[in-house]
Homo-oligomer: A and B are copies of this chain.
Amino acid sequence: MIRFALIGAGRIGQMHAANIVAHDRCSLNWIYDVHAPSSEAVGAKTGAKVARDLDEIFNDADVDAVFVASSTPTHADFIVRSVQSGKAVLCEKPIDLDIAKVEECSKQISSAKSLIQIGFNRRFDPGHGQLVSAVRNGEIGDLEQVIISSRDPEPPPKAYYLAAGGMLRDMTIHDFDLARFALGEEVTQVTAFTSNLFDTVAKEIGEIDSAMILMKTASGKLCHINNSRHATYGYDQRLEAHGSQGMLRSENRQPTSVERFNAKGSHWRDACEFFFIERYRQAYLKQLESFMDTLEAGSESKVSFEDGRRALILANAAYRSVETGNVVTVNYENPLERAS
């Protein structure tokens, strides 16, 4: 029985709370949120103790793991405090929007032995996960190309944009991680095009709403990501892999399999699952189970701090390509140096 403390009682925190409470292998001992009414509501519903102060959590010997679902700027600090308290930590992505802060955090936790897992939930999606397993198992022979399509159903509000740190670090970062996961090999070169095509709110603050990225690995494997901040047909989340023996596609999911045929045409279905809470419901659950499995087995993190760090380095490389009009060689060792 793994005893969790949850930091963050917003929308995503509430979902994690429900998953922890419903699961028979763990319990929710503490809930904390800077906004006290939010943590109190979760406490009332789940029976978790409401922490007034984070020290209550980090000092409680009966807490095995901290689930960090608070705002992005707090992530790095809470990871450090968790591991310094000897607790495992499952932290929502990203580690931070600033690579300098990630490097600093990296140094502080370098000697820690606690399990750290970053919340790249898509690795645990039953479809995407099955695809990557099939690639690893050699089902399509030698992997050659990966294509990721990822489109949000609708643009966020201005406040979200201002805090998000740019589309490539906020939204595409999931795809950079998925690309690394599917490729099974490090990306060495990045080139990218971005546009503001439709969202006037984004335009006003100089932010993009559309992006296309190419990446290449040392052995020559190729990867493409396409992104958009809107999709009228729902949250578009697809992964495609090509190898010497075939192709695999993890296609979108619709809530039902009802097909309609009439004079206007045939074969249409529901729109896709609306957004991440609906689309990745099972992925969030499997992510939690993977974290518990790893913690109990004492094995290596399935999505390590380094995975979180490298996804951000790729996002930064893509931004540099857009700025310079050059193909960018990725520098994982010294990401603070400006690469060619």
Q: Which residues in A have some Cβ–Cβ distance to B below 8 Å?
A: 22, 24, 45, 126-127, 130-131, 134, 139-140, 142, 144-145, 147, 149, 151, 189, 191-193, 195-198, 210-216, 220-224, 226, 228, 230-234, 236, 242, 244-272, 321, 325-327
Contact = CB atoms under 8 A, between A and B. Distances in A.
B193 A189 contact: yes
- In the complex, the count of this chain's copies comes to 4
A263 B271 contact: yes
Given A232-B263, A251-B258, A321-B327, 17 more contacts: A130-B270, A134-B260, A142-B197, A144-B195, A191-B327, A193-B214, A214-B224, A231-B247, A236-B247, A236-B261, A246-B260, A246-B261, A247-B262, A248-B258, A260-B268, A267-B267, A268-B269
Contacts of A191: 191, 193, 214, 327
5 contacts: A130-B258, A147-B226, A191-B193, A228-B242, A232-B261
B189 A127 contact: no
A220 B248 contact: no
A139 B268 contact: no
Contacts of A139: 260
A144 B231 CA distance: 11
Contacts of A327: 191, 193, 321, 325-327
A298 B248 CA distance: 47
Given A126-B256, A139-B260, A326-B325, A265 B212 contact: no
Nearest to A149: B147
A247 B234 contact: no
A270 B265 contact: yes
Contact of A257 (B22, B127, B151): B127
